[in-house]
Structure 1
Amino acid sequence: MNFTKKQLNITFLGTGTSQGIPMIANNDPVCLSKDLKDRRLRSSILISWDAVSYTVDCGLDFRQQMLRENVQSLNGVFFTHEHADHIGGLDDLRAFCYQIGEMPIYLNERTLHSLEKRFEYIFSTENRYPGAPSVLPNIVDSSSFYVDELKVTPIKVLHGNLPITAYRFGDFGYLTDVKSVSDEEKLKLQNLDVLVVNALRIEEHPTHFNLQEALDFIAELKPQKAYLTHISHKLGFHEAVSKILPNNVFLAYDGLKISV
């Protein structure tokens, strides 16, 4: 199946870690920063091409992100894993379901089972709440597939010991909450125009790349450009960290828009 290359428009809906920046009850200088680029909602992106739009994850700040970006329609959601900062906005899909009926969601089996437990009122066939959003699950494994004429390749990665899903859309790769990637899966990330990957903080972390690990990963894959996301206040100030990065690596920030 051959399709012409799509121009992808990416909006960083959120670039923060699971607690966001500023954190509740935290007086770290980064949490008190007046620089808007130091204010980070939970990590997610909006990816658009032609006349369609999808998000990767819909976390706890999903409603706020949709309103901020004035998103008027959505064609589906790709889920990376089941943690609350990546699924917590599932109920707010209902506004888009009013438009299209069932909302396609793409996810691995583990994530689907978690959603079925946490959002029983959405998935139940017997006790389904009538006002709940309607979703249409599509299980992803290791095989590439097409959505709206765009090739999507799932990437199996590890979030500590938790298997989660990253995605390659055309020549754009999006990986969040990653701690390790097998050599086999790295082959799926060759020749990228843009790579987005998590960089939680300066110190090592048991389940996320720290800054050095993210930079080493980028240097190994050699994308044309890379953006860092899923950032905590422990990484430091946006302005200061930006000055020490390689020339082709950038800190993403909430609201940043790029084209690939």
Structure 2
Amino acid sequence: MAVAMCLFAATGLVAPEPAWAQDETAVDLELVIAVDVSLSMDLDEQALQREGYVKAFLDPRVINAIEQGIHGKIAVAYVEWAGAISQYVTINWLQIDGKAAAAEMSALLAEAPIARLRRTSISGALIFSGKLFENNGYRGLRRVIDVSGDGPNNQGSRADLARDTVISQGITINGLPFVPDPDGPLSLFDLTELDIYYEDCVIGGPGAFSLPVRSASEFAESIRNKLVLEIAGTQRPKLIRTSAASPRVPCDIGERQWHMFMDGDRP
């Protein structure tokens, strides 16, 4: 291979793309939207989350961000996840290159049933989502997993270990944590510092960011804003912080909560 490359360089020729690359469609972004459907998400939260994405793909700002890209198109897959072996592709890779295709994505999301499953494995969601990029028929300038959830990882490998595996493949992980109200009723599995947990233990890769949602009224706007930022790849606003070098919240906090629950500690 090295000799062949030298011969191409010496003769001024450009090596042809491999056959598998020629069959791929060039897009600005390959995006996996990975949404939490664990039982800790109540029915109202799940409905608001789905509605947020249904509306976002009809929003002119999202469509404009897509059309303004170098290729003017993106590829999107929508995944629902919960426990370590509970991940489902709700919508497989769909090319979106304008208003009509975006409306199709919105309609498919509106029609699809919403799963409700047990446990919370962010690590399982990340590893599963990372594999979806393999041989998906697209070649994006960027590859991103957009993971949302309302609690820390409590099953499977630790979230930060899965994150490191995924970003080593050139994939960026962004977060949309649903932070519980510290003044409201809290369960053992709630984490009022979930935004910090996502920043330090979940997101990573080039340009990674996390945008916390702190109330139900913020769902739709936060989802739309996050999609625009991911698609456009532009400068992030100051309110969105990137991953820290050392965790301020233990990355096994969810696993600790689960063990406390199993030991009978149920405050």
Classify the TM-score, shorter chain: 0.3 to 0.5
Q: Which has the higher helix share?
A: 2
User: TM-score when scaled to structure 1?
Assistant: 0.33
Between structures 1 and 2, the one with greater strand share: 1
Q: Mark the structure with the bigger radius of gyration.
A: 2
When the two structures are superposed, what TM-score results if normalisation uses the length of structure 2?
A: 0.32
